[in-house]
Structure 1
Amino acid sequence: MSNQLDLVIKNGKVVFPDGVKTKDIGVKAGKIIAIDDQINLPATQVDDAQGLYIFPGAIDVHVHFNEPGREDWEGFTTGSYMLAAGGYTSYFDMPLNGIPSTTNLRAFQEKNELAKKKSVIDHYLWGGLVPGNIEDLSNLASAGVVGFKAFISDSGNEEFSAVDDDTLIQGMKEIARLDKILALHAESRTITNFLTAEKIAQQKLSADDYLAARPIVAEVEAVHKALTYAEVTGCPLHFVHISSPQAVEKIREAKRKGIDVTVETCPHYLLYSHLALQTKGAVAKCSPPLRLEKERKQLIQLLCDNEFDIIASDHSPAPFALKDPVTHNIFSAWGGISGGQFTLLSMLELVKKHNIPLEIIADWTALNPTKRFSLDGKGKIDIGYDADFAIISLDKETIVSPYNYYAKHKHSLYEDHCFPCSVLRTYNRGNVVFDESKVRTTSC
């Protein structure tokens, strides 16, 4: 066997689970085969990472790429490259915005084939739990879905209905039997629909009205109900995009009781408050909504206390016409934040502000997703693992603009945001999937 390596990354500050160490990394056939102070074997490619940080390739467990059926919203080609530009080497695509939604085996197979052909990084697919498809869950699990997603509130798409209580508890029982995980959008449909209808009837259509129509109590009530059902059924839960400290406290209490649950939040809840919806308009609309500044600060403290298991983007793009309604009715605009490229950069910004260890960032964005969803060969830099790396400068600033945001649609909450760091290169299985030096960039 030839001693020649495919790739050696030299002199990088490697982010391991137990801290940062300057090491060389040797790669062959897409795998890490050597980690040492110096690797002097011949290599087809040598990347000198002097002064740079090497993170494990990040894993976004929550994106909406909308194929098949709504590729004009995003798509696997543009979406996966956008993530690669953010230091990501794997993603989990949500089941709801494609047509058809991923709620049966045929839909899964169709989407999976598209992702195989178009994605520039590794992909995984969520299946959906909706009324009427519990008998489909077993086939989806056998086909390889990473887990199942359900909405307690309306999803916004007619193709993907919210679960009623009976579907939720019966589905959770079946998902537990299948040894899978249920991801939940946790807002009370009863509360949010009631308050939204009141606001619209009264022609109260502002940003403040939207926030009032999706109050924290709606999130807390839905979290509480799902945790109660989990206690009854034994179903593992993953709460997506949790937006309030009160909901985190409910989940923390459940963990102390031994319930199998993890919690995710998104960078937009940590970097932005309701003020962004007031000033930027619908590019800042999401559900749950951005909260008040006092709650944002509380979420930051919970982050510093390591109370979140996973940080994900909830990248949910749409054509600008859907984000910019012709009337001054915030309720009629599509709700979703476009910004999957900026999750790792957002976490690194918070590192600098709050002295969070770099290895904790790698836990939230790489190691914890692999542990929670049992991904082989992913999530950390170690011998035998996939050669997935994000090479980061913590000194080079990046300002977000249409020139360096690679999503299909360039409008984003993050536009003009200045990050105190930059993704220089991303490797997926030893292959360069993003190289900042070969694209147009801007700095602060």
Structure 2
Amino acid sequence: MISADLRVRDHLTHLEAELTDFDLVVRSRRAITPDGERPAAIAVRDGRIAEITDYHAPLHADREEDLGRLALLPGLVDTHVHVNEPGRTEWEGFASATRAAAAGGVTTIVDMPLNSLPPTTTADALTLKRKAAAGRIQVDVGFWGGAVPGNLADLAPLHDAGVFGFKAFLIDSGVPEFPPLTPEQLRAAFQEIDALFLVHAEDPDSVGGHESSTSYADFVASRPRSAENTAIAHVVAAARKTGARAHILHLSSSEAVPLIAAAKADGVRITAETCPHYLALTAEEVPDGATEFKCCPPIRDAANRDALWAALADGVIDVIVSDHSPCTPELKRADTGDFAAAWGGIASLQLSLPIIWTQARERGHSLNDVVRWMASGPAALAGLGAKGRLAVGGDADLVVFDPDATQRVDVERLQHRNPVSPYHDKILTGVVLGSWLRGNPTVGEPAGRLLHREGVK
């Protein structure tokens, strides 16, 4: 006869086994954790990281992966992506954009309120966005709302519906349905609602004419640093006056760095981002007529690029995001090479990680730095507490990355809808070998979720 004590002990052993069984265990000698790079085993249960322990720890799981010396990163978070669906889906769409994200190690994106039709400037338009994305996304997707002239009354309903904040332009956006705000209208929006405001900061009065030209130097001269500097001063003044939380989008002008640094030192609630094209490309290398390099604000000279890297190292620039802004090949006007007529935007969602790693390691930065700039930083910016970190309780969004391998970019093999990129044929260091979203591979049936601002269901 089995004693009562033995039965109790067997029952407790069984319960303990159930509690310590995991859905997935991933081991890596180069796990990038908030405590730094170290050998570790990441145990996953019900889509969350349940335990982080020693690399060799005995763990039982339904699935196990041992990556050896390959790096294990948290899924990257890209808070500046133009998906363009519905309305301009021929430029990009949720299916293609999220496939590209997953292939590039980006497991969460936040979609910009333009260039879709309608733009996300009302709660009804947000509903249409979500319907367009539902069931078609490989990674998790959240949404920004838009602040445009005349929609002050729509800001609170949009925020209540779950957008993460609001984007505004101080200059022509390039599409008529998303007009810019004046500095006075921006201040009014800041006062209307306590939310994060993202600002495309270029001053229209400082921008030159739009005469046809195939000269890249002419295009850069038409959008000088002073245009950014002046507009950023307007944003800082408005944030200082109202106490609002403001974020400078796609910082290109290194001359604006001291202004942002001083505002931060004064307690102004301001942050800034820059993008892979400003950190990897230079005006000196852009051939005349090469409109695939056109973006606004423009790619500037090598000294400017180096100053942006210094601002990242100093913490003045907070995050790196793609500003993935694709279009059809026809809109890039490769037939004429006319920078004035070409659409301004660069598609790099799938390539952001190797682009940045190529440059970062040449400058002595670590994978920890890259994860801070491209995962935990953007997650914190948007208030995505479960994203961007290898930490117990967080979503099990994981990326396998070979930091020593190289690749030659072939635009025809990218997952972006249209094969247009200034990175074609460039050699990049670092290759994404796979990714998991909440513990499941990002390939196969779309399993991404639609995200809401924290506290909104």
Q: 1:306 to 1:404 in 2, by over 3 A?
A: farther
> Structure 2 matches for 1:158-197, cutoff 5 A?
158-176=176-194, 180-192=195-207, 195-197=208-210
Aligned 8 A contact 2:138 2:442 in 1: yes
**2: CA distance, partners of 1:396 / 1:205:** 36
Structure 1 unmatched ranges of 5 or more? 436-444
Tell me how far 1:367 sits from its aligned partner.
1.1
Partner of 2:426: 417
1:215-254 equivalence runs, <5 A: 215-254=224-263
Change (3 A) 1:344 1:204: closer
Cα distance in structure 2, aligned partners of 1:412 and 1:327: 17
> Partners in 1 of 2:232 and 2:192 — Cα distance?
19
Alignment equivalent of 1:286, drawn from 280, 289, 295: 295
Q: Specify the code of the residue in structure 2 equivalent to 1:7.
A: L
CA distance in 2, matches of 1:167, 1:351: 39
1:109 maps to which residue?
A: 127
For residues 45-64 of structure 1, the aligned pairs below 5 Å read 45-64=63-82
CA distance in 2, matches of 1:363, 1:135: 36
Aligned to 1:81: 99
TM-score between both structures, scaled by the size of structure 1: 0.92
In 2, the alpha carbon distance for the partners of 1:66 and 1:355 equals 37
SS at match of 1:289: coil
What residue identity is the alignment partner of 1:183?
L
Aligned residues of 1:388 and 1:430 also touching (Cα < 8 A)? yes
Pick closer, same or farther for the CA change 1:50–1:355 going to 2, 3 Å: same
Amino acid at match of 1:246: E
Distance 1:54 1:311 in 2: 19
Q: What is the identity percentage for the equivalent residue pairs of Structure 1 and Structure 2?
A: 36
Tell me the amino acid that sits aligned with residue 62 of structure 1: H
The answer to whether the Cα contact below 8 Å between 1:18 and 1:359 also exists between their aligned partners in 2 is: no
Name stretches of at least 5 consecutive residues in structure 2 with no aligned partner.
1-14, 445-457
CA contact (8 A) 2:79 2:382 kept: no
Q: Deviations over 1:199-253 (max 9, x none)?
A: x2xx555222111110000000000011101111111011110001111221111
Alpha-carbon separation, structure 1, partners of 2:329 and 2:308: 29
Paired residues of 1:61 and 1:91 also in contact (CA < 8 A): yes
| 1:376 shift after superposition | 2.6
- Asked whether the 8 Å contact 2:214–2:288 carries over to 1, the reply is no
Change in CA separation of 1:53 and 1:328 when aligned onto 2, cut-off 3 Å: closer
Q: Which runs of 4+ in 1 moved over 6 A?
A: none
Task: Give how far 1:127 is off.
Answer: 0.2
Q: Distance in 1 between matches of 2:76 and 2:21?
A: 28
- SS state at 2:287 partner: helix
What TM-score does the superposition give when structure 2 sets the normalisation length? 0.90
Residue equivalent to 2:401: 392
> Partner of 2:7 in structure 1?
none
Distance 2:233 2:151 in 1: 24
Task: Name 1:17's counterpart in structure 2.
Answer: 34
Pair 1:280–1:56, CA change in 2 (3 A): farther
Instruction: Look up the SS of the partner of 2:156 in the other structure.
Output: helix
Q: Which moved more, 1:283-292 or 1:105-114?
A: 105-114
Once the two structures are TM-superposed, the CA of residue 370 in structure 1 deviates from its matched residue by 2.2
Cα shift at 1:191: 1.9
Change in 2 beyond 3 A, CA 1:434/1:359: farther
The Cα shift of 1:325 comes to 5.0
The CA distance in 1 between the partners of 2:59 and 2:402, in whole Å, is: 26
Amino acid at match of 2:158: L
Larger radius of gyration: 2
Paired residues of 1:304 and 1:354 also in contact (CA < 8 A) = no
1:366-403 alpha-carbon deviations (Å, 9 max, x no partner): 11122222113112111111001111111211111135
Going from structure 1 to structure 2, the CA distance change for 1:304 and 1:350 (only over 3 Å counts) comes to farther
DSSP-derived class of the 2:324 partner = coil
How many residues of Structure 1 are paired with residues of Structure 2 in the alignment? Answer: 426
The letter of the residue matching 1:157 is V
Give yes or no for contact 1:130–1:161 (8 Å, CA) kept in 2: yes
Is the Cα contact below 8 Å between 1:90 and 1:121 reproduced in 2?
yes
**In 1, distance between residues paired with 2:48 and 2:29?**
18
Residue 322 (structure 2) aligns with:
313
Task: Say whether 1:5 aligns with 2:22.
Answer: yes
Report the AA paired with residue 277 of structure 2.
H
- The worse-fitting range, judged by mean Cα deviation, of 155-164 and 303-312 is 303-312
Whether contact under 8 Å (2:311, 2:317) holds in the other structure is yes
Summarize deviations over 1:417-442 as a string: whole Å, max 9, x none. 2112111111111111159xxxxxxx
Indicate which of 260, 267, 276 corresponds to 2:276: 267
